[in-house]
Amino acid sequence: MSPRITLHKARAAKAAVLKAFRRLPNLGGVGITKVAGGYAVKINLREPMPKGAQLPGEIEGVPVTIEVTGVIRKQ
């Protein structure tokens, strides 16, 4: 079983995700979440990825979760 990802490591992976995908037109946000007790990177999408395009499930050894959140509006 792989060791739990620390917050420090997850933050480094988040920075790498932002650098790599900042220009993704449907990117809705990138944050830190938890998966199975360890930290992970969460990528939010305003729209699903186009057919054939895929985001990595892991970056720098840190799990990546992806969620389609749609449009976010002031409330």
Partner 1 sequence: MTSVIGSDGLQDEFPTGMRMKLESARELKAKLVEGLVAPFTQKAASNGGLAMAARAMTTASSVQRSIALGVAPPRGGQFRLAVRVQRQALLSGPLMEKIVRQARGEVEVRMVGRLDKRALPWYRKPVRPLLPGGSCGHVEITSGTIGAFCERGGKVCVLSNNHVLANEDFGKVGDRIVQPGPSDGGRPTDDRIGHLSHWVRFRKSKPNFLDCALAEVDDGIDFDPVKLRGLVDGKNTKLKGLGPEVVDAGDVVYKLGRMTGATKGRVTAFDVDNLVVNYDTANLRFDNQIEIESAGKKPFSDGGDSGSLIVNARMEAVGLLFCGGEMGGAHKLGLTYANPIHEVLGSLKAKLLT
Which residues of the chain form contacts with partner 1 (CB under 8 A)? 11, 14, 18, 22, 27-34, 39, 42, 44, 46, 67-75
Looking at beta carbons only, is 29 or 61 nearer to partner 1? 29
Q: Give the Cα separation of 50 and 25 in Å (integer).
A: 11
SS3 11: helix
CB of 8 to partner 1, least distance (A): 12
**Residue 66 · residue 56 · CB < 8 Å:** no
Tokens of 44: 């939010």
Nearer to partner 1, 54 or 75 (CB): 75
Tokens linked to 58:
């892991």
Residue 58 Cβ vs partner 1, minimum distance, rounded to whole Å: 17
